[in-house]
Amino acid sequence: MSEMNKAFIKNLPIDAVERVFAALGEKPYRAKQLFNWLYEKNVGSFHDMTNFSKELRQGLDDSYELSALVLEDRLVSALDGTEKYLFKTRDGHFIESVLIRRDGTDEGRLTVCVSSQVGCPMGCGFCQTARIGFKRNLEPAEILDQLCHVRRISDLRNNNVVFMGMGEPFLNYENVLTAADIMNYSYGFHLSVRKITISTCGILPAIERYIDEKRPYNLAISLNDADPVKRARFMPVEKKYPIESVAALLEEKFPVSRNRLTLEYIMRKDNISSEDAGRLKKMFRHGWIKLNLIPLNRGDHGMELPSVGEVERFVKELEIMNVPVSVRKSSGTDIDGACGQLSGRRYHEAK
């Protein structure tokens, strides 16, 4: 069977892998062994799976492709150690992942930011990925393989994963949740549910489904404006799923026993006024909300960056209102750390 016709083994959840081994006349426990090789030991070939017979290894290799991605480029920031990865898919598309060292070392919090789509259909004005347009959803194997490659190349075991790379995760709901479940599974990457965060720009039906299904992972909403008129200028999703409707749903249904819901807020010069702070406080009144303020990346988006003093004043106003707030430090600014920049360059070169 040619490599282009092989199925990706990492697309399969544990019960499907058990069925594969049953069809081969093998015991169900082989599925857990395979997951251990794929994710815990993170091997690059079926032939490295030494507790499988040679015949079984060859049978798996004949039918399945182990890796869904090929590394195209890797950049490492001289400023803070952030690592940017550009991957190529089997059908010739490009996606990106980022390894973030929160304190600039290998000893602190290590977060891998993964992509969920090739490009993105949401058209947010401040987003580099939006300029690529939407190509297709990523399969679970292509999501999981980002983490496998980053761990293997960096020789580091990250302790956090965020679905905040290229794409809108909740428009690829099934594949994203399949990948998250494998990341959490004890024979997969075995990451705690508290260490996995899925970000959405506000796809209302998917948010409601996520809550109703009692999914355990952290949820983040890309807010960026509490004023619907201003938000609609930069985030077309506002016209279909108004943020006030999202906030009402969360107030009604989001369980208070969860980790805090995170609101991501990219700071521009025109969205950090006292009035903006007041709207945020009014819209999200509960203590389980955490506001994550993000500096706007420099670029040719035509938006004006706020000064350090303006940001400090905005943060202080929110703190006075008892809004839990943190300011995210920009990472990898010397290597085009924002997702979509490397991929966009490759697509532009191909034209």
| pLDDT band, very low/low/confident/very high, at 3 (cuts 50, 70, 90) | low
- pLDDT tops 90 at residue 169: yes
Catalytic residues: 96, 339
Contacts for 76 with CB less than 8 Å, ≥ 6 apart = 82, 83, 84, 335
The stretches of 80-156 forming alpha helices (DSSP H) are 140-154
Which domains, and CATH codes, for the chain? 3-65 (1.10.150.530), 69-350 (3.20.20.70)
Cβ count near 44 (within 10 Å) = 11
Q: What mean pLDDT is predicted for residues 314-326?
A: 88
Report the alpha-carbon distance of residue 98 to residue 162 in Å, rounded. 10
- pLDDT tops 80 at residue 297: no
Looking at residue 258, its amino acid is R
Q: What pLDDT, in 10s, does the model give residues 227-245?
A: 999 999 999 999 999 999 9
> Which of 326, 328, 350, 349 lies closest to 338, judged by CA?
328
Q: What mean pLDDT is predicted for residues 69-79?
A: 94
Q: What is the pLDDT of residue 120?
A: 95
Cβ count near 94 (within 10 Å) = 24
N-to-C CA span, the chain: 33
* Model pTM score: 0.92
Contact call for residues 36 and 59 (beta carbons, < 8 A): no
